Structures are given as structure tokens and as C-alpha cells.
Chain A
Amino acid sequence: MPVPLAPATAPVTGWGRTAPTVARLLRPGTYEEAVAAVRAADARGTIARGLGRAYGDAAQNAGGAVLDMTALDRIHEIDAVGGVITCDAGVSLHRLMEVLLPLGWFVPVTPGTRYVTVGGAIGADIHGKNHHVSGSFSRHVRALELLTGDGETRVVTPQDDPELFWATAGGMGLTGVVLAATIQLQSVGTTLMTVDTERAADLDDLMARMTATDHRYRYSVAWIDLLARGARTGRAVLTRGDHAPLEALPPRARRDPLAFRPRRLPAAPRLLPDGLLGRTTVGLFNELWYRTAPRERRGQLQRLAAFFHPLDGLPEWNRIYGRAGFVQYQFVVGHGQEETLRAVVERLAAHGCPSFLAVLKRFGDGDPGWLSFPMPGWTLALDIPAGLPGLAPLLDELDQQVAAAGGRVYLAKDSRLRPDVLAAMYPRLDDFRSLRARLDPRGAITSDLARRLAL
């Protein structure tokens, strides 16, 4: 019965390391190989995978093929004057930063890690700390080359084919495989950031500060201590900043203002005990972190990597959650739904979720991506060990509150949403489904996420 395994069959999970499934791993080195892989897809289909930083099952495809895109990593063209780059979808944002920063350009949007690919950035239509100013990643994509389920490759722009473009932006890889993209960049004078830090005593204080003054900063994010209760519920440290202009640098740093040499520690060990991150450890950590943050500090100079990607210093940090893995819960609710946000924060605090520093961000206008996550309002993201008792029903309950408030859960982080609440969260879901049925009647492109949520 169990037939000998094809050598390239391997278990695949997302960053949260939950729900592994087995697929054939293919690593196309050329567009032709990618085309051949999609044409050869059987009934179980195929899905593109970047660096696997989506937390759940978006880049998994049980019993089918998973296309590891990271060998497609050529940079085709850089317009150093206009700040436009065309590159393969498997290029990481880390690589783009190494190549572009010396030229005075930066990616238009960066998530909390540089280790995501351009394809993954488009597939999830990622957002960064500058969402209130710059929107999500796809707003800056001028064109993309898309390999669809029929095995054909087409150039898609927001002007010529807005339907396919905005279905692909945030479409979680389900409209096809992005082979290459042309992206408008952000100009920077230095690789340092000027950062203002302030402490907020509670959630109301925090939201008031962000509402009043976020518009003065290009980048803004707050870290909330979810283990704090009572009057301190929602206490937070707010950090906001912008790229430092050359004049702001001390004379020594001015000699090499565009230097980018982020350091990395050795990876976390492979085998770590479960339950390392209990309430006590995490509570202590959060306490320390809140107390050591300055009550208020203005104009601090910080390296770009430290400001945007503090976690990238420790590769494979996801292992610290042990065998059971972890989930990230990220949702957004619109302006005017602050009560829901408060209720959720209180609920999480009451449950005692041992979360390191939840992240709160105030979104600006959304973009037209059909399944794109951001919408104007408040987004909260937190990591929780999957083995925490009572977690599954707790998150189901929060989904209901979020959906009832007209909000939604981020698919790139999701590994447990139930399919029936999805339509309320993503009003263009039916359009997305029928576009997929038209574009790919054979079902050559699919994923575990697509099966779980009937996308």
C-alpha cells in the first residue's frame, strides 16, 4: 500500500508550524519550468510558496505540488532615477534592501520581517507601519507577470486588467503564480531612522495619541502588553518615525549614510521544550519591556533593521513555541468600532493569553484588492501558543465580534478561521470565487487555505 515516496515529497507548514501536510516540492529555476509545473498539475493542483512566512496554511497544498519560488530570484532592471525595479517574484525584500539602499531607494512597504518574497508580498497584499500613508504593497506594483492555471503567462496591470490585478493582490496565490513584478520604490537619504517613543498608560490613551498625531509620521506602530489587566489594560509603547535626512546624522555616520549591514544571531535550536512561553515568562518579559521603554523620547536615531525588523536578528525564532506551534490572530475593525477593539483586548487580557507584545496599528485607506486585508481602522495582531487551553473557542468568539463589527481577519496569518464567517468579512468573496472558476476551471491552482475556507 504505502508506495515508495517520491524523493521530493515533504511535510510543509507555515511559520506557525501547525497542521503539516505533505506535498511534492518543486523548485523551478526558470519560467519554463514553472509553466511546465502548472501544466502538469493533477487534480490536487499546485500553489506558489515564497519564504513561508505566512503563519497558516496559505502556502501549503496537501497531496499536490508546492512551487518553491525562491530560485526565481533575478533582478531584471532598476531605474535608479525614477525608482522603479522589475524582478522575479522569488526575490526577498531583504535582497531588495541590500541592492536598493546603496542607490538611495527603499521598498515601498515592509512587513515586520524582511524575509518575505515579492510574490508573497503581492499574494498577501502586505502592509507595513506606513499603511496610513502608503497603503498596502500592491498600490506600488505597476505590473506583474502572472502564470495562470491554464499554463499561460500574461502581463497584468491595474489599468489593462483591473479585475485580475486586484483579485491577485491579496489573492493568496490563488489566481496563479506571480513570476515577476515591477514596483515603484520609496526614496531615502540614509539608512537611519529618527524615532519618537512614548508610553501610553492604557488603551484609550494609546488610541487618542495615535488618532491625534499619527499623520505627522510616515511610520507608526504600538506594542501592547496584553497581560496587563485592570486600569492598565492595553498599556503600550508607541514608536513612530521616518527616514532620517542626511543632516540629522552625526558626522561619522554621514560618511556612509546608506550602509545596510544587519546582524543575525545563530538560529534558535531545533528542539526546544514545550511551554517555554508560559504566562510567567511572557508576563515578566512584557513588564520589563514596558518599564525600560522611555516615557517619552524624541528624535532618537535607530538603524533601519532595528526599527522595522527586530525579530529578524534571531533566525527561526518560531521554534521557541515548541512542538505544538503557535497561531497569530490579526484582525481589523473600522473607525467607530473602538468598542469592539476594547472588548477584544479585555477578553484576551482576561483569558491570560501569554502573548509577547501585541501590535496595534491604525490603518489608512484600503486598496481595491478583493481579498486584501487592510481597511481604515484599527488592526491588532498577537502570537499565541497553539496549545493554550480554550484558545480555539476563544478565537471563534472573537471572530464573531469582529465580523459583527464589519471587520475581518487577515488570511496571511490565519490557520483556524471557520469558512462560514468569511463572506461577512470579505464582501468580494463571491466575485473572487467566480473569477477563479472562470480563470482556472481545471483547478490547477489550489492550496490548503483554499480548501479549508472554500476560496
Chain B
Amino acid sequence: MKDAFGAPQSLLVLGGSSEIALATARRLVARRTRRVYLAGRPSPALDAAAERLRGLGAEVDTVVFDALDPASHEEVLGKVFAEGDIDAVLLAFGVLGDQAHDEQDPMAAVRVAQTNYTGAVSAALVCGAALQRQGHGSLVVLTSVAGERARRENFIYGSSKAGLDAFTQGLGDALHPCGVHVMAVRPGFVRTRMTAGRPEAPLSTTPEAVAAAIESGLRRRAETVWTPTALRPVMSALRHLPRPLFRLLTTPR
């Protein structure tokens, strides 16, 4: 159960090797979290993540989970919930894709969309239903500022996150009366392997800072979290820029 400060005792991470997720898990384990499930595609990175959290005193299991195989989600995730209550689910999987390449290779673009959107839709619905049966719990979904307004530079990724963000808002409203807290987290540029080698955007941040924002969002039962928080006014200004101006500002020259 979560305590009065929203600190969960059990955590399920979807995308168990994500750097943002791992930073979050570390932070939560330092508070109340004792039971962690890391769901993801089997890899040395996933095992290393589990080992690291064990070193901090958590009991950790890895679970084989592939966002691109939504038909399996019900069964795979159902097993986790059958073992006991999950106080918080962190949906962290996602791929950035390679915009330039993917524009030429529609099937690659579709894989980005299927991972970030379709796969997340199915996993979030499965988890949402399980949380609803428990009568409590938080579902934290990592969307992105990239979904706030599609940019020339990464609109395949951005549109998948826009879809996911909209889905998350709606799911939050659907689950609100059921005692389930749904929180969309919209990070800006976070320095992780996902963004490695890319030019840093303004207001860039770290996985640890995102983790802190998630912990505080859980405490406040926030529904939307911008991290860093300064992104909120920035994005709302950008959102209302006229198209020609927006294009001028965001198209790489």
C-alpha cells in the first residue's frame, strides 16, 4: 500500500532497463519500495538493473515483456498482479526511432508507433484493469514534451507520444472514480542512452531529476507532470505560435 506521502511499497516497471525508470526505482526503493518487478525484453541491461536494485535491498524479479507483442500482455502482466498488489506501475518503454531513416522505411516508422502507442495502449489497459480490481494504485506513463506539438525533426516519435498522452489523460478520467491514480509525465530532453549523441535541447535534464518529479507527483497525486517544470509555460507558448513561425523555429537548417 502507498503511505500518506504516496510512496509505494511495490513497483512494476514496464521497460525495465530504461534509465529514467531505473533512476525512479532507485529513488522509490530508498523510501518504501521493497518489491520490484522489471518487465522488459531479456538483456544484460535488464539483469544489471535488477542486480542494482537488489543491492539497495529490494526483492526484484524480471519478467519477459515485449511491447510489440500486445496479445501477450494480459497473460504476462496478469501473472505479476496475481502475486500481490502493485502500488505503482511505471510505463517507461519507448523508442525514439530514426526520423530521417524511418520516413523512407514506413515499416520502421510503424514499429515506433506500435511500441510507443499501440503497445502502451494495451499494457496500460491491462494494468489499469488490475489496479481497478485492487481499488488503489498509480499508473505513471512517460509521455514526452515531443507530443505537445509535432516538430519536423521527430514527428513520428512525437505523434506516437501525442497519442499516448491523450490516451493517458482519458484513461485517468476513466479510472479516477475507481481509486486509480493515472499520471502523465512529460519530460523534456533527458540525458540517457535514448538521446545519446544528439545535440542537447534547452532545459535538458537528468533521469534523477525526472525521478524526483515522479516521486513528488505521486505524493501530490498529480495528473500531469512537466519535468523540468519550466517546460510547461514554454510549451504552452510554443503551442500557440502560428504555423509559419513555428516551422521557422523548429526546422533544422
Contact = CB atoms under 8 A, between A and B. Distances in A.
A44 interface: yes
Contacts of B129: 1-2
Interface string A41-58: 000100000000000110
A22 B177 CA distance: 8
Nearest to A11: B179
B2 A19 contact: yes
A212 B87 CA distance: 49
Contacts of A391: 5
Given A21-B135, A62-B136, A392-B31, A416 B3 contact: yes
Contacts of A5: 177-178
B201 to A, nearest CB: 29
A372 to B, nearest CB: 23
B236 to A, nearest CB: 23
Give the most central of A19, A20, A325: most B CB within 10 Å.
Answer: A19
B212 to A, nearest CB: 12
Contacts of A392: 3, 5, 7, 31
A16 interface: yes
Nearest to A418: B32
A63 B32 contact: no
A23 interface: yes
Interface string B184-211: 0000000000000000000000000000
B1 interface: yes
A200 to B, nearest CB: 31
B132 A2 contact: yes
A57 to B, nearest CB: 7
Contacts of B6: 19
Contacts of B135: 21-23, 44, 61-64
A392 B132 CA distance: 27
Contacts of A64: 135
A61 B7 CA distance: 18
Contacts of B132: 1-3
B136 A325 contact: no
A402 interface: no
B183 to A, nearest CB: 15
Contacts of B114: none
Contacts of B1: 19, 21, 57, 62, 448, 451-452
Interface in B197-253: 219-220
Nearest to B5: A392
A21 B4 contact: no
A392 B9 CA distance: 14
B136 A415 contact: no
A29 B220 CA distance: 37
Contacts of B102: none
Nearest to B128: A1
Nearest to A416: B3
B174 interface: yes
Nearest to A417: B3
B204 to A, nearest CB: 26
B178 A18 contact: no
A23 B132 CA distance: 10
Interface in B21-57: 31-32
B89 to A, nearest CB: 15
A416 B133 contact: no
Contacts of A61: 135
A395 to B, nearest CB: 9
A325 B178 contact: no
Contacts of A228: none
A234 B85 CA distance: 42
Contacts of B174: 1-2
Contacts of B175: 2
A56 B7 CA distance: 14
B134 interface: yes
B3 A415 contact: yes
Contacts of A416: 3-5, 7
Given A23-B135, A391-B5, A417-B3, 13 more contacts: A1-B128, A2-B128, A19-B2, A19-B6, A21-B1, A22-B178, A44-B134, A62-B85, A63-B133, A63-B135, A324-B219, A392-B31, A448-B1
23 contacts: A1-B132, A18-B4, A18-B5, A19-B136, A21-B179, A22-B135, A22-B136, A56-B4, A62-B134, A62-B135, A62-B179, A63-B135, A324-B219, A325-B4, A386-B4, A386-B5, A415-B4, A416-B3, A416-B4, A416-B7, A418-B32, A452-B1, A452-B3
